Structure 1
Amino acid sequence: MEGLRQDPFYIVRQEIQDTVHELQQKMSRFHGLTAANPERKQLAANVRDGCDSLQWQLKELEAALDRAAEQPARFNLSQDEIASRRKWIAATRRQAEGMTNTLKTATAPPVNAAEAKAQKANEAFLGDEQAKQQLIMRQQDVELEDIEQAVTRLGRVGLTIHEELESQGRMLDELGEDVDTTHSRLRATQKKIMDVIRKSGTNTQLGVIVFLVVVLVVLVVLTFSPV
C-alpha cells in the first residue's frame, strides 16, 4: 500500500483533492454573500477558473492512466486498481461540473433583466432592418427617377423622328405631284410637236422641232430647279 502512495497518480490525486476542498470552501462563502456584494463576483470567478483547471488536470491524469492500462504489469496495476482510479476521476469530474453549473445558475441575470436584454437586442435588429429597408427604398426611388428621365428622353426623340418622317412624307408627296404635272406638260408638248410636224414642211418642221426642244428643256429646268 505504501508503494501505491508513492505512485504519481496518488500524488496528483492528493493535489486535486486539496483543490476541490478549497473550491468547496469558496462555494460555501459564495452562497453566504448577497448578490450586491462585490466579493461574491470575485469568488465566482475564482471558483470558475479553479474548475477549469481541475478539468484540465483530470484530463491529463486520465490520459496517463490510459497509457498505463495498456501495460498494467509494467506499472504493477491490477484491473481493480485501474477501475478504481477511473471511478475516482469520473466522480471528481462530476464535482467540478456541479460547481460550474451551480455558478451558472446563481450568477444568471434575473428573468426581467434577460427579457430586457432580449427586447433590446430585438429592437436593435428591427432598427437595422428598418434602416436597410429605407436605404433600399431610396435606391429604388433614384433608379425610378433615372428610368423616368430616360423614358422622357426617348419620348422626345420619338416625337422628333415622327415629325421628321411626316415632313419627309410631305416633301415626297409634293415631289410626286411636281413629277406628275411635269409629265403631263411633256405629254401635251409632245402632242403639239407632233401636230405641228404633220402640218408643216421639212424645213419648217426642223425649226419647229429645235424651238420646241429648247422650250422643253426650259420647262424641265424651271420645273426641277430649286425655288
Structure 2
Amino acid sequence: MAGLQQDPFYIVRQEIHDTVNELHSKMSRFHGLTAANPERKTIASAVTDGCESLKWQVNELDSAVNRAAEQPQRFGLTPEEIASRRKWISATRRQIEGMMDTIKTATAARVNPAEEKLHKANEGFLQGEGGKQQLMMKQQDSQLEDIEAAVTRLGRVGLTIHEELASQGQMLDELEEDVDSTHSRLRATQKKVLDVIKKSGTTTQLGLIAFLMIVLVVIAVLAFV
C-alpha cells in the first residue's frame, strides 16, 4: 500500500481531487448569486477554465493508465488496480463535464429583465450616493480652508493692532515726559522772573516781564513742535 501511495498516479489523482473540490465550492457560490450579479460571470469563467485544465490532466492520466495496463507486471499493477483507476478517471471526468454543462446552461439562460433593472437601479443609487458623499467632502474641505484663511487674517490683524497700540503707548509716554519737563522748566523760569521783578524797579520790571514772556512763548513753541 505504501508503494501505491508513492505511485505518480496517486499524486496526480490527489491534486485533481483537490481542484475538483475547489470548483465545487465555486459552483455553490455561483448558484447562490442572481443572474444579474457581475460576480456570477467571473465565477463561471473561473470554473470553465478550471474544468478545461482538469480535462487535460484527466486525459493524460488516462493515457498513462492505458500504457501501464499493457505491461502490468513491469509496474506491479493487478487487474483490479487498473480497473479501479479507470473507474476513478471515468467518475472524475463525469463530474468535470457535469460542471461545464451546468455553467453553459446557466450562462445561456436569459436574465430576468425586472431583476436586471433592479440591479442597475441599485448600482446607480450606490454610485449616486458615492458621488454625493465625495461632493460633500470637497465642500467641507473648501469651507475648512476658508475658515483657516480667515483665522490667519484675523491673527495678522490682531498682531498689527497690538504693535500699533504699543507704539502709540510709547509715544504717549514720551509726550507725557516732555510735558512734565516743560512744566518744570516753566515753573523754574516763572520763579526766577518773580525774583528778578522783586529786585528790580518798575521800568526794568516791565522790560524784563516783556522779555521773559517772549522767552516763555518761544520755549512753549519749541516744546510742542
Q: Which has the larger radius of gyration?
A: 1
Higher relative contact order (CA 8 A, sep 6+): 2
TM-score between the two structures when normalised by the length of structure 1: 0.48
